[in-house]
Structures are given as C-alpha cells and as structure tokens.
Amino acid sequence: MALTEAERLERIASLIPTCPPPDVWNGMDRCPNHGGRWPCAQTEANWLARGLDRSEAQRAALDALPKPADYYAGPDEEYDPAEDVRGSVGGGF
C-alpha cells in the first residue's frame, strides 16, 4: 500500500535519527557520532524529512545544550544581577 507523502517523510525521519549536537561549550564542533561537520548528513536528512529549517533546527539543538556557568547571554538578552546573586552556586562559603 502506498504511503502518503507525510507518512513517507515520517518513516524516513524515524529511520535516520539525528545525532546529538557537539559540546560547543567545550570547544567541540564535530558530530559526536561521525566525527565530521555537524549537522552531519544524517542529522540534516532527519531535519529535512521533518520539514525543519536547517539553521533554526541547528540553533534549537545548540540552545538545548546545558550552558557553562560563566555563559554570557549577550547584550540582547535581559540580565538581572539580583537573579544572579540568588541563583549563584558553588560560591565561597
């Protein structure tokens, strides 16, 4: 029985799972599974099958990584010093 276009793409996406993003916060920029560029062909194929925009999916995957403690959010994101004091971990005492 013929699959619909959507079913076909869903099958492709499930057959080609994405690779996890590299740990960019520790200087990694290569696919942890393939050792080449990331997103690798496999990851891109999955996104393509799911109709995701490559740069958006890439940004979302990297944003989902746990950020280092000294991460600087940049000038376009709100920074609340009070929040920082309350939320600080691993401090002196």
Residues linked to residue 30 through DSSP beta bridges, in sequence order: 37
Task: Determine the interface stretch with Zn ion among 7-15, 39-47, 60-68, 77-85 (rule: CB under 5 A).
Answer: 39-47
- Residue number, 17 or 68, with CB nearest to Zn ion: 17
Task: Determine the interface stretch with Zn ion among 37-45, 57-65, 66-74, 75-83 (rule: CB under 5 A).
Answer: 37-45
- Residue number, 42 or 58, with CB nearest to Zn ion: 42
| 55 in Cβ contact with 43 (< 8 Å) | no
Which residue from 19, 21, 46, 61 is in contact with Zn ion, where contact means CB under 5 A? 19
- Decide if residue 33 touches Zn ion (CB under 5 A): yes
| 2 in Cβ contact with 32 (< 8 Å) | no
Burial 12-43 (b: 16+ CB within 10 A, else e): ebeebebbebbeeeeeeeebeeeeeebbbebb
- Per-residue mark of binding to Zn ion, 50-79 (x: CB under 5 A): ------------------------------
Look-up: residue for tokens 């699959």? 3
Q: Which residues are at the interface with Zn ion (CB under 5 A)?
A: 19, 31, 33-34, 40, 42
